A and B are shown apart, each in its own frame.
Chain A
Amino acid sequence: MTSTLHSWGGYPDFPQTSHICRWRGEAPALMGRVFASYNSTLPYGSGRSYGDSCLAESNQVLHMRAMDRFIEVDWQQGIVRAEAGVTLGEILSVSIPQGWFLSVTPGTQFVTLGGAIANDVHGKNHHLRGTFGNHLRRFGLLRHGQRLLTCSLTENTELYAASIGGLGLTGVILWAEIQLMPIRSGQIDSTVVRFSNLAEFFDLSAELDHQHEYSVAWIDCLAKGADIGRGVFIVGDHAQYGSLDKEVRPKLQVPLTPPVSLINNFSLRFFNEAYWRVHPTKRTFKRTSFEPFFYPLDRILNWNRIYGRKGFQQYQCVLPDASATAATSDLLAVIAGSGQGSFLAVLKRCGNISSPGLLSFPLPGISLALDFPQKANLEPLFSRLDAIVRLAGGRLYPAKDAHMSGADFRQAYPAWEQLEALRDPSLMSRFWKRVTE
Chain B
Amino acid sequence: MKKILIIGATSAIATACARLWASQGAEFFLVARNDERLQQIATDLKARGAKAVTLHNMDVTDYDAHPDMLEKCLASLRQIDIALIAHGTLPDQQTCEQDVAVALREFANNGTSVIALLSRLANQFEFQRWGTLAVISSVAGDRGRPSNYLYGTAKAAVSTFCEGLRARLFKVGVHVITIKPGFVDTPMTKGLIFPAMLVAQPDQVARRIVKGIKRSANIIYAPGFWWGVMFIIKSIPEFVFKKINI
- The chain A residues found within 8 Å of chain B, CB to CB, are 1-3, 20, 22-25, 69-73, 80, 82, 94
Report which of B37, B41, B43, B196 forms a contact with A72, defined as CB distance below 8 A.
Answer: B43
Minimum CB–CB distance from B62 to chain A (whole Å) comes to: 23
Q: Which residues of B contact A25 (CB under 8 A)?
A: 36-37
A1 and B194 contact, CB distance less than 8 A:
yes
Sample 11 A-B pairs with CB under 8 A, ordered by A number.
A1-B190, A1-B191, A2-B190, A20-B190, A22-B187, A23-B40, A25-B36, A25-B37, A70-B47, A71-B40, A94-B48
Minimum CB–CB distance from A94 to chain B (whole Å) comes to: 6
Contact (A70, B199) CB under 8 Å given A2-B193, A22-B187: no
Other A-B pairs, 13, CB within 8 Å; known A20-B187, A20-B190: A1-B186, A1-B189, A22-B187, A23-B40, A69-B44, A70-B44, A70-B47, A71-B44, A72-B43, A73-B46, A73-B47, A80-B47, A94-B23
- With A and B bound together, what is the CA distance between A3 and B183 in angstroms? 14
A1 and B199 contact, CB distance less than 8 A:
yes
- With A and B bound together, what is the CA distance between A193 and B16 in angstroms? 43
- With A and B bound together, what is the CA distance between A80 and B40 in angstroms? 15
A24 and B185 contact, CB distance less than 8 A:
no
A-facing residues in B4-54 (Cβ within 8 Å): 23, 36-37, 40-41, 43-44, 46-49
B47 and A94 contact, CB distance less than 8 A:
yes
Contact (A69, B41) CB under 8 Å given A1-B194, A1-B199, A94-B47: yes
Specify the chain A residue showing the minimal Cβ separation from B189. Answer: A1
Specify the chain B residue showing the minimal Cβ separation from A23. Answer: B37
Quick one: CB contact mask for B53-93 with A, threshold 8 Å, 1 for yes?
00000000000000000000000000000000000000000
| B192 contacts partner chain A, Cβ-Cβ < 8 Å | yes
- With A and B bound together, what is the CA distance between A2 and B189 in angstroms? 9
- The chain B residues found within 8 Å of chain A, CB to CB, are 23, 36-37, 40-41, 43-44, 46-49, 185-187, 189-194, 196, 199
B193 and A69 contact, CB distance less than 8 A:
no
Specify the chain A residue showing the minimal Cβ separation from B185. Answer: A1
A1 and B43 contact, CB distance less than 8 A:
no
B190 and A69 contact, CB distance less than 8 A:
no
Contact (A71, B43) CB under 8 Å given A1-B199, A94-B49: yes
Contact (A69, B43) CB under 8 Å given A1-B194, A1-B199, A23-B37: yes
- With A and B bound together, what is the CA distance between A70 and B186 in angstroms? 20
Q: Which residues of B contact A2 (CB under 8 A)?
A: 190-191, 193
- With A and B bound together, what is the CA distance between A94 and B50 in angstroms? 11
Minimum CB–CB distance from B25 to chain A (whole Å) comes to: 11
- With A and B bound together, what is the CA distance between A82 and B189 in angstroms? 26
**Quick one: which of A1, A70, A71 has the most chain B CB within 10 A?**
A1
Q: Which residues of A contact B40 (CB under 8 A)?
A: 23-24, 69, 71
Specify the chain B residue showing the minimal Cβ separation from A95. Answer: B47
Specify the chain A residue showing the minimal Cβ separation from B10. Answer: A23
Q: Which residues of B contact A80 (CB under 8 A)?
A: 47
Report which of A20, A23, A70 forms a contact with B43, defined as CB distance below 8 A.
Answer: A70
Minimum CB–CB distance from A21 to chain B (whole Å) comes to: 11
Minimum CB–CB distance from A208 to chain B (whole Å) comes to: 37
Specify the chain A residue showing the minimal Cβ separation from B187. Answer: A22
What 7 A-B pairs have minimum CB-CB distances, sorted nearest first? A70-B47, A69-B44, A73-B47, A1-B185, A70-B44, A1-B189, A71-B43
Minimum CB–CB distance from A74 to chain B (whole Å) comes to: 10
